[in-house]
Amino acid sequence: MLRRVIYTSLATYPLDKRALLDLLHEARGFNHIDGITGLLMHDDGHFLQVIEGPASEIANLLQRLARDGRHNHLEIHEDVETESRLFPDWSMGFGEMSDPALAFLPGIISQTDQQERFTELVNRLPDLAERLNLELGESAT
């Protein structure tokens, strides 16, 4: 049995392209070792992440994320057991909404062969999407 967690958080400082690439590289390395897959989306300091893998490894990752000073206001929106992965081939897919130059990274959500997985995530989580839109709207005012 696998565990899937979907959470949001806020960057504690502005992240430039280099900082985002470093974060992605680090996540992919650790996740590959730990058997964790998922997707990280970033938009102007807002993060949405899906992590999935063995329950013990997800628990360890959540502890590390809670201590990570690059973000705060970590809020878990879904924490479920599952038999299948949404992102079986991605040690960490990445979607950058505010810097189009990063949209050409391998594992980006706009790749045609991976678009179905992202669409499946969006279709399965309409309540989360609605909540995120509200949070983004509130932080913009």
Q: What is the pLDDT of residue 16?
A: 86
Q: What is the pLDDT of residue 136?
A: 47
Under 8 Å between Cβ of 3 and 81: yes
CA-CA distances (angstroms) from residue 60 to 34, 36, 46, 138?
Answer: 10, 11, 22, 31
Domain count, the chain: 1
Show pLDDT as tens, one digit a residue, over the chain (141 residues).
999 999 989 999 998 888 888 888 888 899 999 999 988 888 778 888 989 999 999 999 999 999 999 999 999 988 999 998 888 877 887 766 655 555 444 444 444 444 555 555 555 555 555 555 555 455 444
Q: What is the pLDDT of residue 3?
A: 97
Exposure string of 106-132, with b = 16+ CB inside 10 Å and e = fewer, is: ebbbeeeebeebbeebeeebeebeeeb
Q: What is the pLDDT of residue 117?
A: 53
Q: Are strands 93-96 and 46-54 parallel, antiparallel or unpaired?
A: unpaired
**pTM as predicted:** 0.73
Distance CA 19, CA 112 (A): 26
What three-state secondary structure class fits 129?
Answer: helix
Q: What is the pLDDT of residue 56?
A: 97
Distance CA 109, CA 103 (A): 8
- Structural domain range at position 66: 2-140
CATH value at residue 131 = 3.30.70.100
